[in-house]
Amino acid sequence: MEKNDGPANRRRIPVDEAIVALLAQVEPVSDHERVIVLDAMGRTLVEDIPAPADVPPFDYATLDGYAVRASDTDGAAPDQPVSFEVVGVLAAGVVASRALGKGEAYRILTGAPVPPGGDAVVPFEGTDGKGFGGWDGSDAMSLGLAEKRVAVRVQVQTGADVRRRAEDQRAGEVLLRSGTRVRPAEVAVLASAGIFSVWVHRRIRIGVLSTGDELVARDHVGPLGPGKIRDANGPALLALVSRDGAIPVDLGQALDEPDSVRASLLKGVDQGCDLIVTSGGVSMGDRDMVKHVIRDDGEVSIWSIDLRPGKPFTFGRFHGVPIMALPGNPVSAMVTYELLVNPVVRRMQGDRAAVPVEVMAIADQEILNDSGRENFVRGVARIDDRVRGSVEWHVRPTGPQGSGILTSMARANCLIRLSPDTKRVESGGRVRLRLMDASPLW
Ligand code: AMP
Ligand code: MG
């Protein structure tokens, strides 16, 4: 069995290059399905969505007041009120029975359509109108109707306090583009447009396999046997797959034997996995079988990435199914998932924006990189608003960065990205950050 990766001085691929190379290896899945809008959360649209109609469908009042013709308020001032005849009351959902004439006003409440002929709303506070200060439970509406005239004390412009028809969505215009990932905001836009179902890429099925003779069964209760440890990577990777909106397929655990690894991977192929993610058994040791099995049954195309934590990594195909073999160290497994697997999952599910956002931050303490590789340091990032007017990100490492220190992942909300030739960042220096979860950590 071949163990060599090729020439020892083979160039390690920079992370960004590796991501580009990985994205070139996979395609969005071609099957689509029509789902109701709520089920589209986290999925990617495969169609441009045109607005079926104008939203809002009519001009309406944005506050309580009087609908008027703006030109009729010309010259109105606190000491020079202009008197209007009140011709009716319009509440939300009520349409005027007639057009507004010169010198006429409708009492109007927020959300009610502006009557034809009217083009502005005078806020109640700009008039001597009565009964608007909150409904007192009495006969407020008839009180309004009893009001025959109102004095307007402010001059308003055309369109004042009127929300315009179609200001949000214009019939026929593209509302959402194909390739957009649906978030709660997209759900709201679709709902406001009266769209009940959309075409999206189907979710991909991702097989997750842990490897290692030292792993006890996931449901093992009681003391661990000598030399045995619990399987953190299986659950971690299954959780990451779920977070990314794909369907996790639990392939369990394999021993460090070629036949065991092969049988587990074949299970993944049989179960229709679109992608398989493994952890462990991918370095150069005597018992590291995963890469050999992939090579024997398929091909290995990308490995040796200039990355810490997580150098041992392999992308290939196993019986035609894309496979990503991640290192066994739990931190390395999670970090390589975030950096390398997540973009692939997004692309396979049709997301146009496969690569996540990074921000610049100020290091609150010295950060060292003695790895000679691109180093992703677990960090805690926050916006510092103690300094008046400052909205800068600040960051500090979580502490010791050993790739076995899994609790540091739970303490981190970002990865601080240090290039191979950055040996040291001083306190106060600037660093690139990749936010994993921007909520504050305490
Ligand atoms: P490997 O990449 O297989 O050489 O594993 C590297 C380290 O990660 C070893 O200390 C393993 O025991 C550990 N490890 C491998 N797989 C897992 C797992 N699923 N959960 C927790 N630790 C693991
Ligand atoms: Mg192992």
Strands (E), 319-391: 321-326, 358-363, 367-368, 374-384
* Per-residue pLDDT, 186: 97
Q: Which of 279, 282, 313 to mutate to test the pocket of ligand 1 (most atoms within 8 A of CB)?
A: 279
Q: Which of 224, 255, 329 to mutate to test the pocket of ligand 1 (most atoms within 8 A of CB)?
A: 329
* Per-residue pLDDT, 6: 46
Question: Do the Cβ atoms of 60 and 114 come closer than 8 Å?
Answer: yes
Spatial CA neighbour of 336 closest among 363, 285, 373: 373
* Per-residue pLDDT, 352: 84
Entry pTM: 0.86
> Which protein residues touch ligand 1 with a CB less than 6 Å away?
210, 212, 214-215, 229, 231-234, 279-283, 327-330
Rg (CA), the chain: 31
Please tell me the distance from the alpha carbon of residue 207 to that of residue 272, in angstroms, as a whole number.
Answer: 9
Question: Do the Cβ atoms of 208 and 251 come closer than 8 Å?
Answer: yes
Ligand nearest to the CA of 231: 1
Ligand 1 geometric centre to CA of 246 (Å):
24
> Residue 422: how many CB atoms within 10 A of its CB?
16
Please tell me the distance from the alpha carbon of residue 297 to that of residue 1, in angstroms, as a whole number.
Answer: 13
* Per-residue pLDDT, 304: 86
Ligand 2 geometric centre to CA of 293 (Å):
14
Cα–Cα distances (Å) from 232 to 153, 330, 374, in that order, read 70, 6, 25
Q: Roughly what angle, to the nearest 10 degrees, separates helices 290-297 and 258-270?
A: 60
Ligand 1: atom nearest CA of 329 is 8
Please tell me the distance from the alpha carbon of residue 284 to that of residue 289, in angstroms, as a whole number.
Answer: 9
Cα–Cα distances (Å) from 307 to 19, 207, 313, 374, in that order, read 12, 24, 10, 5
> Residue 89: how many CB atoms within 10 A of its CB?
19
Tokens matching residue 363:
């290091």
Phi first, then psi: what are they for 406, rounded to 5°?
Answer: -70, -30
Spatial CA neighbour of 340 closest among 356, 357, 318: 356
Residue 435 host element (H or E): strand 430-435
β-strand partners of 361: 393, 431
Contacts of 290 (CB under 8 A, 6+ apart): 211, 261, 278, 280, 281, 282, 314, 325
Q: Which of 216, 218, 224, 233 to mutate to test the pocket of ligand 1 (most atoms within 8 A of CB)?
A: 233
CA angle 323, 409, 240 (to 5 degrees): 35
* Per-residue pLDDT, 248: 98
Please tell me the distance from the alpha carbon of residue 129 to that of residue 47, in angstroms, as a whole number.
Answer: 51
Question: Do the Cβ atoms of 26 and 347 come closer than 8 Å?
Answer: yes
Please tell me the distance from the alpha carbon of residue 419 to that of residue 125, in angstroms, as a whole number.
Answer: 60
Phi first, then psi: what are they for 243, rounded to 5°?
Answer: -55, -35
Q: Are strands 104-108 and 65-68 parallel, antiparallel or unpaired?
A: antiparallel
> Residue 398: how many CB atoms within 10 A of its CB?
20
SS3 assignment, position 57: coil
* Per-residue pLDDT, 310: 81
* Per-residue pLDDT, 387: 65
Ligand 1 geometric centre to CA of 284 (Å):
14
Contacts of 305 (CB under 8 A, 6+ apart): 12, 13, 14, 15, 18, 311, 313, 340
Give pLDDT tens digits along the chain (442 positions): 334 444 445 688 999 999 999 999 999 999 999 999 999 999 999 999 999 999 999 999 999 999 999 999 999 999 999 999 999 999 999 999 999 999 999 999 999 999 999 999 999 999 998 754 444 444 445 445 567 899 999 999 999 999 999 999 999 999 999 999 999 999 999 999 999 999 999 999 999 999 999 999 999 999 999 999 999 999 999 999 999 999 999 999 999 999 999 999 999 999 999 999 999 999 888 888 999 999 999 999 998 899 998 888 999 999 999 999 999 999 999 999 999 999 999 999 998 877 778 999 999 999 999 999 999 999 999 887 666 667 889 999 998 888 889 999 999 999 999 999 999 999 999 999 999 875 555 4
